[in-house]
Amino acid sequence: MEKVVLAFSGGLDTSVCVKLLQEKYNMEVITACVDVGQPKDEIERPAQVAKEIGVKKHYTIDAKHEFAEEFIFRAIKANAMYEGYPLSTSLARPLIAMKIVEIAEKEGADAIAHGCTGKGNDQFRFESTIRSGSLCSIIAPVRDLSLTRTEEMDYAKENSIPLPSDKLYSIDENVWGRSIEGDILEDPMVETPEEAFEWTVSTENAPHKAQYLAITFNDGVPVAIDGKKMGALEIIIECNRIAGLHGIGRIDIIENRIIGLKSRENYETPGAILIITAHKALEQLTLTREELKFVETISQTYSEIVYNGLWHEPLREDLDCIIDNMQKRVTGVVKLKLHKGSIRTLGRESPFSLYSEEAVSFEDKEMDQREIAGMVKNYGLQAACYQRVCKKD
């Protein structure tokens, strides 16, 4: 019997996959759940379900710290956002796939399987990572059989596959954010019901009193809140908690998927919005005009690479090198005010600040204003020429 390692979440798609791989593909199934900060029951349930449906070996891999340090922190330094989405799901996929490859190697498996459908982005992200790290064949049972959600439900019922009962929407959650799709949300004109949200309160229910806080950055990544030092994972969790409390980080967009489909996506990413807002504020203080312009370009390319599942593309590593070098000066403190869904930057300071209060001051006598006259005189030379030439016509 051939051996297959399945990336297993215990949800509908992957649960159906277990049975399909056993019955239709006639394989020995090993399941693995990679913990990137899902809720506790989403880590415990797969182990239980795996047992119930006759899986002999199940792995639970804790990759939360690695996710925070090696993936989320890179995304923060790059201000990574795709069409307004902080890439929570996208960033986790290569890490999950890498862990599955490790298990497949250890188990001497013949194949790796995933539960992605043929319409989504994750099939690209999983498969490109797997192919970068392994020669195993890849099986995608749901896509292979072109199953619809209803067909999957029927198959699950027929085969007494246990399903999470209370899930109305398709939800993907990790420490960087929560994605909510499906059901009535597929109608882009339907307002997302309050019950879909778990990490954030509505602006109406957010506290009337504003919260002031200071985030300290070191080399482009957050290291302390209000002076209290924290590790990568801890600070992300804390930022989610604080910003969520003030109704920050709800995102409702029409997103362009890799295959070109437009999809309606809801996200809750309070920590990501808070941290990236503060990070950008510190960059304004410490990077030059030229760097800031380039940072926008890098951010756009970096985000597309991540979204498109090309984590192992060398350009991503090249960009990380430039980013790391620039971020050495993105060190300092940002003061913020959170109130009813809004974040305001109140202040920023850094030992690498390029801002000079003396130079910009109206009271300054150091810079002789007359010296600038020459610089101003020929400014807009081409525009002036153009206007003259056109008037002559």
Quick check: 124 and 258 in contact, CB under 8 A?
A: yes
Quick check: 328 and 219 in contact, CB under 8 A?
A: yes
Nearer to ligand ARG, 73 or 126 (CB): 126
Tell me the window of 49-57, 168-176, 317-325, 358-366 that interacts with ligand ARG (CB under 6 A). Answer: 168-176
Nearer to ligand ARG, 183 or 234 (CB): 183
Q: Among 197, 173, 13, 200, which Cα is nearest to 92's?
A: 173
- Angle at the Cα of 239 (from 237 to 240), degrees rounded to 5? 65
Sign of CA dihedral 283, 287, 291, 292: positive
Nearer to ligand ARG, 81 or 239 (CB): 81
In sequence order, what are the residues at sequence separation of 6 or more whose Cβ sits closer than 8 angstroms to the Cβ of residue 97?
7, 125, 126, 129, 130, 133
**Calpha distance 311→98 (Å, rounded):** 11
Both tokens assigned to 134: 């392994």
- Assess 268 for contact with ligand ARG (CB under 6 A): no
Shortest distance (Å) from residue 387 CB to ligand ARG = 48
Tell me the window of 71-79, 169-177, 278-286, 354-362 that interacts with ligand ARG (CB under 6 A). Answer: 169-177
End-to-end CA distance of the chain: 83
User: Segment 107-146, which members bind ligand ARG (CB under 6 A)?
Assistant: 121
- Assess 277 for contact with ligand ARG (CB under 6 A): no
Cα Rg of the chain, angstroms? 25
Strands 3-7 and 57-62: unpaired
**Calpha distance 141→25 (Å, rounded):** 9
Helices vs strands, H then E, count in the chain = 15, 14
Quick check: 132 and 26 in contact, CB under 8 A?
A: no
Q: Identify residue 176 by its one-letter amino acid code.
A: W
**Calpha distance 237→37 (Å, rounded):** 9
Nearer to ligand ARG, 14 or 121 (CB): 121
Q: Among 227, 252, 222, 226, which Cα is nearest to 237's?
A: 222
Among residues 60, 117, 170, 218, which is the contact residue for ligand ARG, using CB under 6 A? 170
Shortest distance (Å) from residue 235 CB to ligand ARG = 23
Shortest distance (Å) from residue 321 CB to ligand ARG = 25
Shortest distance (Å) from residue 307 CB to ligand ARG = 7
216 bridge partner residues: 224, 333
- Assess 255 for contact with ligand ARG (CB under 6 A): yes
Shortest distance (Å) from residue 7 CB to ligand ARG = 14
**What x-and-dash track marks residues 31-70 binding ligand ARG by CB under 6 A?**
----------------------------------------
Tell me the window of 102-110, 138-146, 170-178, 206-214 that interacts with ligand ARG (CB under 6 A). Answer: 170-178
User: Segment 172-191, which members bind ligand ARG (CB under 6 A)?
Assistant: 172, 179, 181
Nearer to ligand ARG, 14 or 286 (CB): 14
Among residues 89, 174, 286, 331, which is the contact residue for ligand ARG, using CB under 6 A? 89
Nearer to ligand ARG, 54 or 118 (CB): 118
Among residues 90, 123, 128, 240, which is the contact residue for ligand ARG, using CB under 6 A? 90
- Give the residue numbers marked as catalytic: 13, 93, 122, 170
Nearer to ligand ARG, 256 or 288 (CB): 256
Length of the chain: 393
Tell me the window of 16-24, 98-106, 164-172, 290-298 that interacts with ligand ARG (CB under 6 A). Answer: 164-172
Longest dimension (CA), the chain: 86
Q: Among 319, 277, 372, which Cα is nearest to 79's?
A: 277
Among residues 55, 171, 206, 221, which is the contact residue for ligand ARG, using CB under 6 A? 171
Residues that bind ligand ARG (CB under 6 A): 89-90, 121, 170-172, 179, 181, 255, 265
